[in-house]
Amino acid sequence: MNKWNVYVTNEIPKPALDMLAEHCDLEVNRLGKPLPKSTLLEKVQGRDAVLCLLTDQIDNEVFKAASQAKIFANYAVGYNNIDIPAATERGIMISNTPGVLTDTTAELAWALLFSVARRVAESDKYTRMGKYEGWGPMLFLGQDVMNKTVGIIGPGRIGLSFAKRAKAFDMKILYTGRAPNPQFEKETGGQYVSLNQLLQDSDYVSIHTPLLPETFHLIGEKEFKQMKKTAILINTSRGPVVDELALVKALQTGEIWGAGLDVYEWEPKLAEGLSELNNVTLCPHIASATIETRTKMGTIAASNILTAMKGELPPNCLNP
């Protein structure tokens, strides 16, 4: 078996790089930031495989430059950064890392939900600034989570994991998606409703849908108007699912109560006005960022490449 020449577009946990280094000639971008497109186009030339990240726009131009590549292994479950039809056309396999980041992502959605509902980030800032002068009966009044209604958009793996945790807080669970999901209902007691009903009835709305043409700006001005004034929106999926300018307006005018965001429409840029708001908790796309999960994502991406190197179909191939 010939040793493959593999390029990794950014530093990932060592166990994954060690796996690849054992069997391949390896080069890793050690700059600690995504490569500009022109450098990426140079670096992929002559490679048999590329391990890429969601910060790399992998399009037809990249595939053309990577004329020897058999596989691009994405270090993410989401793959909206890759032009899959273009890869398929050129006979290049694309793989992702599903499964391993499900619970970790759901946990961050909960961290955001609690942060906004109980004003954790806001009161942390206040305390650090030396403003705390003693217990106050009206200080940072937030909202209860238990016994409230949570609406889940997208009952897939992460939506399910999020919903299972909602059960522990005795919440009523509503969900919406392409179609009713009997497994989701069996495991969570969740009730399938239309998006409109979910928005009207939920105290908390959490988004767990991939970014697709039909989910772009799924939540915008019209949808914010349907939500309760006390509602909190959580997004750990992809930024463009929410119209971020409309969100800023809804938060400024009190159309909704707050938001917890891990993803942004123009990531890493934030919509104007967002960072000045107190009723938001903002994270830098860290939903899968635990040592354990990021290591598993790396070893899965590496094993997708090593499986392809053996001439076999990688388990997470998206375009077999």
Q: What residues act catalytically?
A: 238, 267, 285
49 near 20, Cβ under 8 Å?
A: no
| Binding flag, residue 301, ligand DGY (CB under 6 A) | no
Radius of gyration of the chain from its Cα atoms, rounded to whole angstroms:
21
Amino acid found at 165: R
Please give the structure tokens belonging to residue 1: 């078996």
Please give the structure tokens belonging to residue 308: 């392809």
Cβ proximity to ligand DGY: between 202 and 288 the closer is: 288
Cβ proximity to ligand DGY: between 202 and 236 the closer is: 236
Site string for ligand DGY, 160-199 (x = CB under 6 A): ----------------------------------------
Q: Are strands 258-261 and 280-282 parallel, antiparallel or unpaired?
A: parallel
Task: Residue count of the chain, please give it.
Answer: 320
Site string for ligand DGY, 54-73 (x = CB under 6 A): x-------------------
Site string for ligand DGY, 279-298 (x = CB under 6 A): ---------x----------
How far apart CA 233 and CA 2 sit, in angstroms, is 51
Residues between 83 and 102 with contacts to ligand DGY, criterion CB under 6 A = 101
| Binding flag, residue 314, ligand DGY (CB under 6 A) | no
**Contact region for ligand DGY (CB under 6 A) — 30-38, 74-82, 159-167, 239-247?**
74-82
Tell me, letter by letter, the H, E, C secondary structure of 107-158. Answer: HHHHHHHHHHHCCHHHHHHHHHCCCCCCCCCCCCCCCCCCCCEEEEECCCHH
**Contact region for ligand DGY (CB under 6 A) — 76-84, 133-141, 159-167, 212-220?**
76-84
* Residue of 155, 160, 156 lying closest to 175 (CA atoms): 155
| Binding flag, residue 77, ligand DGY (CB under 6 A) | yes
- Binding residues (CB under 6 A) for ligand DGY: these are 54, 76-78, 101, 288
